[in-house]
Structure 1
Amino acid sequence: MSSSSSAWDAHLAASLVRDAGGLAHRMRTGTLDVRAKTSASDVVTAADEAAEALVVERLTAERPGDGIVGEEGAAREGSTGRRWVVDPVDGTFNFVQGLDWWCSALALAAGEQVLLGAVHHPHDAVTWVGGPDLPTTRDGQPVARITDRPLADCALATYLHTTWWGVPEVAEPFAAVAGAARVMRMNGSGSMDLAAVADGRMDLWLHHSVPEWDWMPGCALVEGAGGVWEQIELCGYTWSVAGPPTAVAETVALLRGEPARG
């Protein structure tokens, strides 16, 4: 049983997200069947399902012993102790609306340990791959290492759906962090946001109650670029934060209602 990743896994991951993203991008030019899932902004299309099916078919053939977990329902138990976590189209609302901030993403994990992540942005034809033991690259070129900085100097990529604004246990810690950052952006794709943190276009990422397919691919990229990540439980919610060590520590302190500390 192997719980490690290899260069072959990284190559496969990059190929899978490129192919899945390319398929979704082609399907986007036609008429899409759009259905709501949990809310008006949480939607699924035939492109999500077709892209996930493509990834599952490839993984079944090339990594038959590994497990699979997909956002659109793919599930397979494995025998290796590893699983592939698949998000065929991350940012589906943007995808449907004709906005470009969406991607295909996946991660390879062993238990709760994320081994590597891959993200492909079809609009710019850019692919990121990285992990804790795999320095993050953008189209095969190493990204610059993340520079440590305080929260006050960080551009914060985040998201808070309007349904949570009236929930004090979520809205108040969120506001404490957002108010301490240099600037805040809500772009609508967790994996794209985390890829932007990994390659220096954003500085820090924060979200609550995020599913593993929206978290694992990107947090692997951030770690592979020299950043850190942390998940904490607070009032029944799990908060996920990734970026420079000092800013992450300050964010965790503010979420807990403590004085910010680096």
Structure 2
Amino acid sequence: MTTARPTLTDDVRLAGALVRDAGRLALEMRRGGIAAEQKSSVSDLVTAADRAAERLVVDRLGRERPDDAVLGEEGAAREGASGRRWVIDPVDGTYNFVSGLTWWCSALALTEGEGEEERVVLGAVYHPHDDVLYVGGPDVPTTRNGERLPTLEDRPLGESCLTTYLHPPFFGDPVGDAFSQVASGAATLRMLGSGSMDLTAVAQGRLHVSCQHSVPPWDRLPGLGLVLGVGGVGRQVSAAGVVWSVTGVPTAVADVCAALAR
């Protein structure tokens, strides 16, 4: 018997439940005290909460979306037959999470297609500290705890708050120089430590454009879905030997890409 294809409403409901449950599990584990392991750098950490939250999401997807592919930051990987993929970041902002800061979340995205044809269907982000759930996508108007967010007001980079996550070792090299071309044209700059959380702020018009290089799909796609759902845009461009992901209000995104091209 062929399983009925889930509706977009079904996917929105499931995505919200998954990130909420994952985020609440991570928060509860943090309250009990948790140790961190270093991955690639002192700010690139993983904890038992990351792994447990990812396992929770993957196990439920295995039951409810067995034909879909899965990719998780902490190693989950499953091929699928449906042409769809769930991309999971169980704890985005783990350094903040470990340090007792509140700017972290659980996030995921659902995509369709493969390779260059892959497109975001929806993104979901849950912020445990404020108990806030964001869900949105190109065909899903972005909501905050079920309330629809307004369409973004466009503005140029010179009137925008730019957000990034640029490691200090890149300062002064070609990558840092390329970013300086961008930052020098912005009204102000923030570096808060969670890409998906930053993009919830962009989707709400609190920040305006994100520019970061070498972004893995689990850090880029969930928030991209939210921004697309309020009329924003996302582009990827190459500069200084790396690929930059630029997401936000349309004119500021165009200005950032032009600065990188210089």
State TM-score, norm by structure 2: 0.95
Q: Which residue of 1 aligns with 2:75?
A: 73
* Corresponding residue of 1:24: 26
Q: What are the within-5 Å matches in structure 2 for residues 34-183 of structure 1?
A: 34-110=36-112, 111=114, 112-168=118-174, 170-183=175-188
C-alpha separation in 1, matches of 2:25 and 2:37 = 19
* Dislocated runs of 4+, deviation >2 Å: 1-5
Unaligned runs of 5+ in 1: 258-262
- Alignment partner, residue 241 of structure 2: 236
- Mapping 1:177-196, distance limit 5 Å: 177-196=182-201
**Preserved CA contact (<8 Å) 1:3 1:81:** no
Report the Cα distance in structure 2 between the residues aligned to 1:243 and 1:40, rounded to whole angstroms.
29
CA contact (8 A) 1:151 1:246 kept: yes
Could you give the per-residue CA deviations for residues 99-142 of structure 1, whole angstroms, max 9, x where no partner exists? 00000000001122111000000000001000011110000001
Q: Structure 2 unaligned runs (5+)?
A: none
Q: Cα 1:234–1:153, aligned 2, differ >3 Å: closer, same or farther?
A: same
CA contact (8 A) 2:110 2:122 kept: yes
Post-superposition offset of 1:233: 1.7
Letter paired with 2:200: A
- How far off is 1:199 after superposition? 1.1
- Which of 204, 207, 215 is matched with 1:199 structurally? 204
SS in structure 2 at match of 1:247? helix
Query: Which stretch has the larger CA shift, 233-242 or 139-148?
Result: 233-242
Deviations 1:201-221 (A, max 9, x none): 111111000000000000110
The answer to whether structure 1 residue 220 and structure 2 residue 219 are counterparts is no
The count of aligned residue pairs is 256
Q: Provide the C-alpha distance between the structure 1 equivalents of 2:247 and 2:233, rounded to a whole number of angstroms.
A: 6
Cα distance in 2 for partners of 1:2, 1:255 equals 45
How many angstroms does 1:3 deviate by?
9.7
Q: Secondary structure at the match of 1:136?
A: strand
CA distance in 2, matches of 1:144, 1:240: 23
Distance change in 2, residues 1:217/1:3 (3 Å): farther
What SS class does the counterpart of residue 12 from structure 1 fall into? helix
Provide the alpha-carbon RMSD of the alignment: 1.5
**Structure 2 CA distance, aligned partners of 1:47 and 1:129?**
23
Q: Percent identity?
A: 57
Return the TM-score normalized by structure 1.
Answer: 0.95
**CA offsets, 1:203-244, max 9 Å, x none?**
111100000000000011000011111001224311001111
- For residue 180 of structure 1, give the secondary structure of its aligned residue in structure 2: coil
* Equivalent in 7, 10, 17 of residue 8 of structure 1: 10
Deviations 1:156-178 (A, max 9, x none): 1111001211321x111101111
Distance in 2, matches of 1:91 and 1:49, equals 14
